Structure 1
Amino acid sequence: MSENTTDRTADPTQADLENEGDVAADYLEELLDIADIDGDLNLDVRQGRAYVSVESEDGSLALLSAPDTVQALQELTRLAVQNKTGAFSRLILDVGGSRDARRRQLEKLVDAAGARLDEGSTQASLPAMSSYERKLVHDIAAERGLVSESYGEGADRHTVLRRR
């Protein structure tokens, strides 16, 4: 094992997650410099994951904060971290508040599904989404007193909601 590689057979430690954040921040700083985009990076550890947010007050992140773009940047950043550390990364990237905006969208989706259930549907299926988004949907559904389960494989994996 190289000196940059850690054995992650167990859950990552706080130090492992902080290192992931540092590696991710270095990668993202280079990427932002290449694109000539100003952004401040903030690092945190939340719920057993490194969390990196990129913020800017000048609106220069608008194009990068679209959900599909954030997802792509997150995957690239995870690969860069994995390449550097030798360990799988589950880091979360937020660009310009995109994660909060996406949570609000998912809350509306869950609320609309809840309304369909109130109107007599026995279940309500949501569109396919990433594992992170499905986890958010499960959390939101639980907050709203709904039961949620994921079905399907790969890119078709989606969440189905029911009343308790």
Structure 2
Amino acid sequence: MNSTPEIVNDGPLAGSDRVSATVAQLEEEGDIAADYLEGLLDIADIDGDLEMDVRQGRAYVSVEADDDALRLISDPDTVQALQELTRLAVQSKTGRFSRVILDVGGSRDARQQELEDLVSRAVARIEEGATQASLPAMSSYERKLVHDIVADRGFVSESYGEGADRHTVISRG
């Protein structure tokens, strides 16, 4: 019997065809992602250290550097694009949908702060009398972060829309 805990994937391939990944499979995804990213960094002649971790049912890969060598690729839109390319590379190697998360030079912390500020502005609109506040469309990972931030502030949030148009609406509940 395999004693490795299973982690359930609730991404786009979930539902009636539930997909799960073991910690070992997630570690494999992290290794594949790190190899892919190392190749990209070499092509771009960018020095960076890669660290891998498994948290909350996802493989996390962080790219760090001592200087500002990552400045060019740590923009949130660039990180999102690199993450999607990395997910595709992992998926092509494993044959499984990947939800690997990429952080470049602290970009995840910066995005977390941006999301907290966005929620603060939305909550302020509700406190000024609006019944609800809609946020822009964002990735499932960012929506999850928003739901957590909103809940911590005592409000309610729900996601609406499909695909790239999926967004979060905040209300008092």
* TM-score, length basis structure 2: 0.88
| Superposition map of 1:94-113 within 5 A | 94-113=103-122
How far does residue 83 in structure 1 lie from its aligned partner after superposition?
Answer: 0.7
Identify which of structures 1 and 2 has the higher relative contact order when contacts are C-alpha pairs closer than 8 Å and 6+ apart.
1
How far does residue 10 in structure 1 lie from its aligned partner after superposition?
Answer: 4.3
SS at match of 1:89: coil
Displacement over 2 Å in runs of 4+: none
Residue number among 95, 102, 109 corresponding to 1:93 in the alignment: 102
Q: 1:13 to 1:129 in 2, by over 3 A?
A: same
- Distance in 1 (CA, whole Å) between partners of 2:30 and 2:63 is 12
Number of the residue aligned with 1:117:
126
How far does residue 148 in structure 1 lie from its aligned partner after superposition?
Answer: 0.2
Number of the residue aligned with 1:156:
165
Number of the residue aligned with 1:15:
24
How far does residue 70 in structure 1 lie from its aligned partner after superposition?
Answer: 0.4
Number of the residue aligned with 2:64:
55
Number of the residue aligned with 1:5:
none
1:27 aligns with 2:36: yes
Which amino acid in 1 is paired with 2:41?
L
Which amino acid in 2 is paired with 1:93?
L
- Distance in 2 (CA, whole Å) between partners of 1:27 and 1:11 is 23
How far does residue 86 in structure 1 lie from its aligned partner after superposition?
Answer: 0.9
Kindly provide the CA deviation profile for residues 104-148 of structure 1, in whole angstroms up to 9, marking residues without a partner as x. Answer: 000001011111111011000111111111111001101111100
- Gapped regions of structure 2 (runs ≥ 5): 1-8, 10-17
Q: What do you get for the CA RMSD once the two structures are aligned? A: 1.1
Residue number among 116, 133, 138 corresponding to 2:142 in the alignment: 133
- Distance in 2 (CA, whole Å) between partners of 1:36 and 1:75 is 21
Which amino acid in 2 is paired with 1:122?
T
- Gapped regions of structure 1 (runs ≥ 5): 1-7
Kindly provide the CA deviation profile for residues 38-83 of structure 1, in whole angstroms up to 9, marking residues without a partner as x. Answer: 0000000010000000001110101111111000000000010011
Which amino acid in 2 is paired with 1:134?
R
Which amino acid in 2 is paired with 1:49?
R
1:80 aligns with 2:89: yes
- Distance in 2 (CA, whole Å) between partners of 1:128 and 1:157 is 5
Which amino acid in 1 is paired with 2:103?
D
Which amino acid in 2 is paired with 1:45?
V
How far does residue 155 in structure 1 lie from its aligned partner after superposition?
Answer: 1.3
* TM-score, length basis structure 1: 0.93
Which amino acid in 2 is paired with 1:104?
Q
